[in-house]
Amino acid sequence: MAKFKYYYDLMSQPSRALWIALRLGKIPYEDCPVALRKSEQLKPEYQQINRFQKVPALVDGDFHLGESVAIVRYLADKGQFSEQLYPKALEQRARVDEFLEWQHLGVRLGCATYFLDMWLLPMNGIKPKPSAEKAAILSKNMESQLKILEEIWLKDTPFVVDNKMTVADLFGACEVEQTKLAHYDVGKKFPKIAEWMQRVREQASPHYDAAHEFIYKKSGMKPSNSKL
């Protein structure tokens, strides 16, 4: 089977989740990094790759596909994705899908907005640093989603769907990792999330640490036993 091309930047949360999943599943792909910091995704050449000018994206022969979760499903149906990470059994798959659909407006929107407004946009001079009042609203919005992760998804199980790590955990954890850049320490208020992230990291080793190298370095919040 010819290799597909995977376009990504490890600074993008869903890019990392998919990158870790591909590596864990030992799926061969052609490595196509895209530097968001250089706005490579906005160049006309990249528009030919992905008309939405975002990462991650996949090109498989002449089939172009954006959206990380759509890519997971496409590869799974083609037999190019780990079955442990995206189960085939109807009810288990639906449960993973339930998380993947929830996370967009749940943990992803909350965490990504926090990261963007607290760190990325002020750092690049696009927006002023948020006032104390605005910062409080941003953390309240994010924490209302983290609370759902802590109290519902992780209520009785070590992973968000039952007892085994799936791609849902990778998507969730990569979003939460991103908030480290804005110096948010999730373990202070959400002990279950902190423990869960440690489990995900161990299960996804060594790719999890490799994907998060920049975040660990930049935030100074490297897990104590990381070999990086």
Partner 1 sequence: MLNWLCKWFHSDSRALSDSCGPKVKMSLRFYYDLMSQPSRALYIIFKISNVQYQDCPVALRKGEHLTEEFKENINRFQRVPCIIDDGYKLAESIAILRYLSAKGKIPEHLYPKYFVEQARVDEFLEWHHITLRVTCSLFFRTIWMDPLLTGVRPSNEKIQHLTQHMEANLDIVENVWLQKTDFLTGQRLTAADIFAACEIEQIRLADYDVRIKYPKIKAWLKRVRAGCNPHYDNAHQYVYKISGTAPHAKL
Task: Provide the binding-site residues for partner 1, judged by CB under 8 A.
Answer: 51-52, 63, 65-71, 73-74, 77-78, 90-91, 93-95, 97-98, 100-102, 104-105, 108-109, 148, 152
Shortest distance in whole angstroms from residue 194 CB to partner 1: 22
**Residue 27 or 221 having the CB closest to partner 1:** 27
Between 71 and 211, whose beta carbon lies closer to partner 1?
A: 71
Closest contact distance (angstroms) between CB of 227 and partner 1 is: 34
- Distance in Å, CB of 201 to partner 1, minimum: 25
| Closest C-alpha to 169, from 3, 1, 27, 21 | 21
Comparing CB distances to partner 1, the nearer of 121 and 210 is: 121
* Residue 224 beta carbon to partner 1: minimum distance, rounded to whole angstroms: 34
Residue number with CB closer to partner 1 (5 or 95): 95
Give me the least distance between CB of 178 and partner 1, in Å please: 14
d(CA 113, CA 120): 10
Question: Could you tell me the smallest distance in angstroms from the CB atom of residue 41 to partner 1?
Answer: 15
What string of H, E and C letters represents the secondary structure of the chain? CCCEEEEECCCCHHHHHHHHHHHHCCCCEEEEECCHHHCHHHCHHHHHHCCCCCCCEEEECCEEEECHHHHHHHHHHCCCCCCCCCCCCHHHHHHHHHHHHHHHHHHHHHHHHHHHHHHHHHHCCCCCCCCHHHHHHHHHHHHHHHHHHHHHHCCCCCCCCCCCCCHHHHHHHHHHHHHHHHCCCHHHCCHHHHHHHHHHHHHCCCHHHHHCHHHHHHHCCCCCCCCC
Q: Which residue, 97 or 162, is less far from partner 1 as judged by CB?
A: 97
Tokens found for residue 108: 């992803």
Query: Is the Cβ of residue 105 or residue 137 nearer to partner 1 in the bound state?
Result: 105
